[in-house]
Each structure stands twice: as structure tokens, then as C-alpha cells.
Amino acid sequence: MAIRLPEGVQVGTRFMCAEECTIHPDVKQRVLKARDRDTVVTGYSTGHPVRVLKNKLSRQFQELDRLGDAEKLEALGAGKLAAAMRHGDIEMGSLMAGQCAAMVDEILPAAEIIAQLMAQAESVLRDLSTRVGE
């Protein structure tokens, strides 16, 4: 039986802290400061949940989700991604980021991020190949 390996990865949060990424520097710094419990999922009531870094806006989103008020949640969210990413509003902007934000600890060129990802993948594959048949 052949093992089917994943054909891709989602690493947007890591690339938020690429040198070439044009998001606001305050957002990059917020990602770098993130810890393992600094993200939450909001937007359940809209049917389009997203993971974000905790801030004042995310707490308001969570309350509206709890109340099931998708209409108010959508209205509150209008323009909030731009507020964060373009203008650096880290309190009332939408700081969309994955749970892995806690693992991002430096700003690097995109090419170096890719090289690290490839090296880590190759290491895992080498390790797995030694375990086949154990």
C-alpha cells in the first residue's frame, strides 16, 4: 500500500515576516512577539471562520460570535484587514495569522525562508526513510 503524501503546505504566516512582505512593520513585530496561545478563531457565525492574533477587535468578534450576530460581525470587520496590514492598527485591525505565529522568530528574505523549509523537509524525509520497516 502506497503512502500518499501531502502535495502542499500553507505557510502564509511565515511569509508575513519575509523582508519582501509589504505589510506594516508593527504587524510583523506583533507576529514575532506571538506566543503559542496568542491566536483565536473568529467568524464562526458567518460561516467563514479565520484565525487571528488576539487583540481588542478579536475580543469583540468573539462576543458577536457568541451572540450569533453574523451581520454585526461582518459590519465590524469591514476594512479591518487593511487597517492592520496597511496602516499598522494592531488593536482594532484584523491580524489574520496562523497558530504557527508563535514559531516565527525572525524576519528573513523569502529565499532564505524557502531554503529553511526545504532543508527541514529533507531532514524529515531522511529520518522517515530510516524508519521504514521498523
Asked if the structure places residue 120 within a domain, the reply is yes
Question: Is the separation of the CB atoms in 101 and 13 below 8 Å?
Answer: yes
Asked if the structure places residue 21 within a domain, the reply is yes
Asked if the structure places residue 1 within a domain, the reply is no
Asked if the structure places residue 66 within a domain, the reply is yes
Asked if the structure places residue 2 within a domain, the reply is no
What is the mean pLDDT of the segment spanning 8-22? 93
Residues 89 and 98: their CA atoms lie apart, in Å, by 18
Q: Is 51 helix (H, G, I), strand (E, B) or coil?
A: strand
Asked if the structure places residue 31 within a domain, the reply is yes
The DSSP code sequence of 77-105 is HTTHHHHHHTT--TTTS--B--GGGGG--
Domain that residue 120 falls in: 12-131
Name the nearest CA neighbour of 15 among 131, 78, 109.
109
Q: What is the pLDDT of residues 20-56, one digit of tens each?
A: 999 999 999 999 999 999 999 999 999 999 999 999 9
Contacts of 46 (CB under 8 A, 6+ apart): 70, 73, 74
Q: What is the pLDDT of residues 64-119, one digit of tens each?
A: 999 999 999 999 999 999 999 999 999 999 999 999 999 999 999 999 999 999 99
Asked if the structure places residue 53 within a domain, the reply is yes
Q: How many domains does the chain have?
A: 1
CATH number at residue 98: 3.20.20.70
Asked if the structure places residue 99 within a domain, the reply is yes
